[in-house]
Structure 1
Amino acid sequence: MTAFTLHDLEAIIAARAGASAEASYTRKMLDKGAAHCAKKMGEEAIEVVLAGASEPRERVVAEAADLLYHLLVLLKARDVALTDVEAVLQTRTAQSGLDEKASRKDV
């Protein structure tokens, strides 16, 4: 059995984006627009932070799963592929984190 990946989840989100809003939570989110998807992702991020600070491991895992799902829905809403994000991560990991951070123009 192969491991489930974020690319698998991205493909599921793409498939569900083609469904009706009555049958798909993903489609319902996308129909509300990128700003709504971003707000929902932010709410999930806060839940991860709170769980990470003091809740049991299982809660952290569950909240992280919610966050990753909502991040990929937001990326879909903005027409950003996971491979685009991976490409940026690949360039960033080619050097030390401290050097990479110092090289950013926006920091």
Structure 2
Amino acid sequence: MDVLDQLQSVIATRRGGDPESSYTAKLFARGRAKIAQKLGEEATETVIAAMQDDPAELTKEAADLMFHLLVLLTDAGLSLEDVRAELARRGGISGLAEKASRETK
């Protein structure tokens, strides 16, 4: 099990936990809209770190982004395996062709 799988497992155990003693449980208690909002904030902070050309800060912000994405996926009943399967499905398909196929739906 890699570190992201381990993290997702820990996140799942925090669901329904005490929001007073767990940041993750607090996110779940606040609902999906708040989780998504926090993910957006982390995405913005990641972009800012990238633009500052600071590898250490970008790494930290990317870790925060991944964490919050895993919380959102867990809240939606999805997992890294679902994301891996989607990426595998896209394998061998040009990015432009894949994007075009989504736009016609």
CA distance in 2, matches of 1:69, 1:105: 29
Bigger mean CA offset, 63-72 vs 97-106: 97-106
- Return the match for 2:32 from 27, 31, 34: 34
- Return the match for 2:57 from 34, 56, 59: 59
CA distance in 1, matches of 2:83, 2:12: 17
Identity of matched residues, %: 45
Q: 1:95, CA displacement in angstroms?
A: 2.0
- TM-score, structure 1 as length reference: 0.87
| Corresponding residue number in structure 2 for 1:25 | 23
Could you list the runs of 4 or more consecutive aligned residues of structure 1 that deviate by over 4 angstroms after TM superposition? Answer: none
- Return the match for 1:6 from 4, 7, 10: 4
Q: 1:42, CA displacement in angstroms?
A: 0.2
CA distance in 2, matches of 1:38, 1:49: 17
- 1:102 counterpart SS class: helix
* 1:89 paired to 2:87: yes
Q: Is the 8 A contact 1:16 1:27 kept in 2?
A: yes
CA distance in 2, matches of 1:37, 1:14: 14
CA distance in 2, matches of 1:50, 1:10: 26
- Return the match for 1:102 from 96, 100, 104: 100
Question: Which segments of 5 or more consecutive residues in structure 2 lack a partner in the other structure?
Answer: none
CA distance in 2, matches of 1:77, 1:58: 29
- 2:78 counterpart SS class: coil
Bigger mean CA offset, 44-53 vs 87-96: 87-96
Question: Which segments of 5 or more consecutive residues in structure 1 lack a partner in the other structure?
Answer: none
| Corresponding residue number in structure 2 for 1:75 | 73
- TM-score, structure 2 as length reference: 0.88
Q: 1:106, CA displacement in angstroms?
A: 4.8
